[in-house]
């Protein structure tokens, strides 16, 4: 049986580079018996969605040109 530490780590490994067949069975076995890790699986997915959503919005607003006159002065004073 996997530890919670290993099960939660594999849960995040899954979304980045994928799991082997054995690993995914091990994670499923563990989370079916562990409420904390079952919550972790749901929450890490939710966090991914939050972050895609958040940075998606951010990248839209950031296309607007930002002005920073303090920075301009700071750079000129150091040239």
Indicate the residue among 21 and 65 with the shorter CB distance to other proteins.
Answer: 65
Which residues of this protein are in contact with other proteins, per CB under 8 A? 3-6, 8-9, 12-13, 16-17, 35-37, 39-40, 42-44, 46-55, 57-59, 62-68, 71-72, 74-76, 78-79
Nearer to other proteins, 13 or 26 (CB): 13
Cα–Cα distance between 18 and 22 in angstroms, integer? Answer: 12
Of the candidates 4, 69, 70, the one whose C-alpha atom is nearest the C-alpha of residue 36 is 4
Q: Nearest distance from residue 25's CB to other proteins, in Å?
A: 18
Contact, 26 vs 2, CB < 8 A? yes
């Amino acid at each position: 049986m996997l530890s919670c530490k290993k099960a939660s780590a594999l849960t995040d490994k899954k979304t980045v580079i994928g799991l082997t067949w054995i690993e995914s069975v091990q994670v499923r076995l563990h989370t079916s018996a562990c409420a904390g890790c079952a919550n972790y699986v749901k929450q890490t997915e939710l966090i991914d969605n939050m972050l895609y959503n958040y940075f998606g919005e951010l990248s839209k607003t950031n296309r607007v040109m930002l002005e920073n006159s303090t920075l301009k002065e700071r750079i000129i004073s150091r040239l």
